[in-house]
Chains A and B, each alone.
Chain A
Amino acid sequence: MKRRVISIILCGLMVTGLLSGCGDSASSTTTSTTGSSGADTTADVADSATSDSASAESTTAEASTSDVSGSLTIWEHDTAFESSLEAVVEGFKAKYPNVDVEYEFKSDDYQNALTIAIQSGDAPDVFWTNGTATAYFGEFQKADALMDLTDIVDTSELPEDGLSIGTIDGKLYSVPWSCVDTRACYYNKDLFEDNGWDVPKTFDEFEKLLQKEKDAGYIPISLSPNNAWCLLFAFEPILSAYDSDYTEGLADYSVKATDDPARGAMNKMLEWADKGYFGDNYLGVADGNAQVLTFTSGEAVMDIDGSWDTNTFLENNPNLNLGAFQIPDNNGKTGMVGTLANGFSIYKGTKNADAATAFLQYCATTEAQQAWVDGQGAVSGNKNVKSGSAVAEEIANCDTMYTSWQAVLTKHAKDGENASTLFENDITKVFTGDMTTDEFFDEIANVMQ
């Protein structure tokens, strides 16, 4: 009898030891921080708060700020947005001091982590999505994971086009950000000055510039062919310069995504690869980070990349004299290939509905939108919000705005098919020589309307 009791107690101790050893081993690539104060950004937010934006919301909010309490968990998908999120959370906490805010960045694993969290019923209160540009947004809505924001959030301060990315069937499910997610050709101003190069005014000048840069011993354009998105963010601006009329036609699908100009633009990129304009050993550049580092370390003169990376370049190398331009077509016309950025949604099953609604309402104010755009150094798509940096002004200095080629793939694929996944899996094969341009475009054409 005694022996049995002793063995049971010992087993219990063993189990306790096991469990305490097992716990907390789950955190992987997430950086989780509670809202920490960034002194400069709070100053900016305070300044813009005292300026214009006298909306009805701020007065009613001030009247009830002490009523809203609770805790909020926010998930964002990329640490590139950390400074923006910090600034917005600071501004929110200034208005609603009784709410605890915690945010996490899930990076590579974001969509998977979010899906699992929603499916297990344990989702964060507020999370980022890329709206209707992705397949999973619609699935979340069908699975009743998104709170309908149509009547709860006042979006009068936001631009109309931005709202469409978060709208399904006329109902609003997420609050967009006023950033235009665009691409630009970033360049190293110091290298341009030292070598007497000028920002090109036509596409031919751009090509000649590439040869001059190569002759001077630099890598003209930094590129990673092993990541579909790096290739896309270079392809779209080059396409818009190769054939601007075609690119304009993408907006209303009056041209097909796989027509000859698109093929021609890709073949042009392959031609440049053969001439060594991406570097002789560019196949070894593993991913977007390596691409950025090649540019910020001064090995490459230019980098055609996404506008959200402006601050990343400056953080990487504060001494980099950064400039940007849009690649012109042969008539000198320039444009931004972009989509308005999407923002946060509320999880329908959240236990902090008041706090979450208050947060999204705050996000929809011009003050928060300005803070977000400033944190990115981004281009603004909202007339009430200034662009976030000098480089952003240079990026926005163009004639028109184009639709993203990849957005067309998502919007106009045949029912039940996913052209965007096909593009993502196969575009890298075109650049490593495993697939020809025509095979790639034909395969996409098969699943498009």
Chain B
Amino acid sequence: MKKKRKKKNYVYFILPGFLMYTVFIIIPIIYVIYLSVFDWSGLGAKVFVGLDNFVTLFTDNKIGPEFWHALLNNLKYMLCIWLIVTPLQFIMAYLFYIKIPAFKYIKFMVFMPYVISSTIVSFFATMIFNPNIGILNDVLKKLGLSQGSWFGDSHWAFAIFIIIVIWQSSGSGMMIFYSNLLDIPKEIMEASSIDGCNEMQRFKYILLPLSLPSCVSIIIMSTIWALSVFDLPYILVGSTGGVHSVLDFVNLVFYRYTFGSVLNGQTNYGFGAAISTLMLVVIVIVTSVQNKILSKFEYEN
């Protein structure tokens, strides 16, 4: 009798959160999947078109290549995060772990940008990198070096974008790695130094493998984030995706085709819902594949 009572009590605690989650997250997702088979401008009647929206997305002469190019950009960005940003975060966490000089100050400075909203960061980036009135070109002019158009130059735009991402988001990953490193029991470190381990070996054979659990969670989160990035490129280059579409991501394509503009405006919510549904499927597949592969590296106590 008493055991049953205990079970019911915790259900009450879960209920509010569960209801909120269902109402604000699950139900809208289901509604979007439902919308994706209609042609609807936001007002008036919904016209059922079946899988037409998806067919247009894949095969239309104009939209198709744009979409695939944007998806490729997302994958490129994802690879940059896996191969550049995450190792950088780990190296920084390691440097703080071994307590390089002034590490507390540097740790604080590295973490600060993460607190600033990404909208503000990208707005200031447009001010700094503006070719005519921006600070960077001003400084370069005074030093006598050649100036560039930065976001107007397709060779530089993506690189600068990654630099901004590194500047802003290293903080979060670095903190997760750092706290993971701090969690490694002292006994292991002492045992390794007794066994005659040098720094490189300690790094390679002890710290790295023991950091993999946090690595797993960071990689999964940053993959989802890379596939759905929107705010940074939207403010940096607008909804067109920049010169030669180098910063055109899937969510920018979604924004362009779903919402019109103030002065002209042709909205198509059904088509946008189709893009969203497709990305939902992609993210679910990628995440479950990742989970399977990376679960090997989870902590096995």
Contacts and interface: CB of A to CB of B under 8 A. Distances in A.
Interface of A: 3-4, 7-8, 10-11, 14-15, 18, 77-78, 107-112, 115-116, 118-119, 130, 133-136, 139-140, 142-143, 145, 219, 222, 226-229, 279-287, 290, 293-294, 297, 299-300, 410, 418, 420-421, 424-425, 428, 432-434
A421 B266 contact: yes
B165 to A, nearest CB: 18
Interface string B28-44: 00000000000001111
B264 A284 contact: no
B5 A281 contact: no
Contacts of B152: 226, 281-285
Contacts of B291: none
A134 B17 CA distance: 43
Contact of A116 (B10, B42, B44, B260): B42
Interface in B256-301: 256, 259-267
Given A140-B43, A434-B245, A284 B133 contact: no
A109 B265 CA distance: 11
Interface of B: 5, 8-10, 12-13, 15-17, 20, 41-44, 126, 129-133, 137, 147-153, 236-238, 240, 242-245, 256, 259-267
16 contacts: A3-B9, A78-B262, A108-B262, A111-B262, A115-B41, A130-B262, A135-B260, A139-B41, A280-B147, A281-B150, A282-B132, A282-B149, A282-B152, A286-B238, A294-B130, A434-B244
Contact of B43 (A4, A109, A115, A130): A115
A77 B260 CA distance: 14
A280 B240 CA distance: 21
A136 B43 CA distance: 9
B57 to A, nearest CB: 15
Given A18-B16, A116-B42, A286-B238, A293 B262 contact: no
Closest 5 CB pairs of A and B: A283-B152, A284-B152, A281-B149, A281-B131, A284-B149
A283 to B, nearest CB: 3
A444 B133 CA distance: 35
B43 A145 contact: yes
B149 to A, nearest CB: 3
B266 A115 contact: no
Contacts of A10: 12-13
B256 to A, nearest CB: 7
Contacts of A299: 132-133
B68 to A, nearest CB: 15
A281 B264 contact: no
A284 B148 CA distance: 8
